Amino acid sequence: MQTLPRLSLIIGGTASGKSRIAEVLATASGLGRIYIATAEARDAEMQTKIARHRQDRGPDWQTIEAPLDLCGALRDARPGSVVLVDCLTLWLSNHLLADHDPEAETTALITCLDDHAGPVVLVSNEVGNSIVPDNALARSFQAAQGRLNQRIAAHADLVATVIAGLPLALKGTLPRGLA
C-alpha cells in the first residue's frame, strides 16, 4: 500500500498510457477506488472505447459519469477513497461545446479540489506539442487546455508525464514501482 499525494496530475499525449498509469497509481493506494468518467458516448467508436476502459478497470471501481459536473461528483465521492478523474481534456471540451467559460469552470474545479479530503488523480492530455490548428474553435480549445493544465499542475503535489507508457515525474516523486 502506497500513500498518495493529495493531488496528482498525469499528463500525456493521446494513447500514451496515461490512464493506465493513473489506474496503477490509484490501485497502489489500497483505498477504495472511484472513477469519474467525463467522456460521453456520442458515437460507436467512443462507446467501444468506454466499454474497453471499464472492462480493463474491472469490478473493483465505482464509476461516476460526470461530463460537466466534476464538483458534484467529487462531493458525492465516498470518504476514504481515491478518486481518479479521466479526463480533464474531455471535461473541458464538454464545457466549451456547452459555451461555458473555461476559466470560470477551471477556477471552480480548483476550489473543489482544494476542498476535497481524499487523494485525487487527474488525467489530462498535453496538446501543446502539436501544430497551431487552422480553426478558431480548435485554437480556443488548445489555449484553454494549456491554461487548465498549467493551473492544475501548479496546485498538484505530483505531476507526471507519460510517453510510450513510461511515466516521468515533473513535480514531486513517483511511488516505488512506477518510477
Active-site entry in 53, 100, 116, 155: 53
Identity of residue 123: V
**HEC secondary structure over the chain:** CCCCCCEEEEEECCCCCHHHHHHHHHHHCCCEEEEEECCCCCCHHHHHHHHHHHHHHCCCEEEEECCCCHHHHHHHCCCCEEEEEECHHHHHHHHHHCCCCHHHHHHHHHHHHHHCCCCEEEEEECCCCCCCCCCHHHHHHHHHHHHHHHHHHHHCCEEEEEECCEEEEEECCCCCCCC
Is 95 annotated as catalytic? no
Give CA–CA dist 78/74, Å, rounded. 9
**HEC secondary structure over 33-45:** EEEEECCCCCCHH
Identity of residue 155: H
Catalytic residues: 53
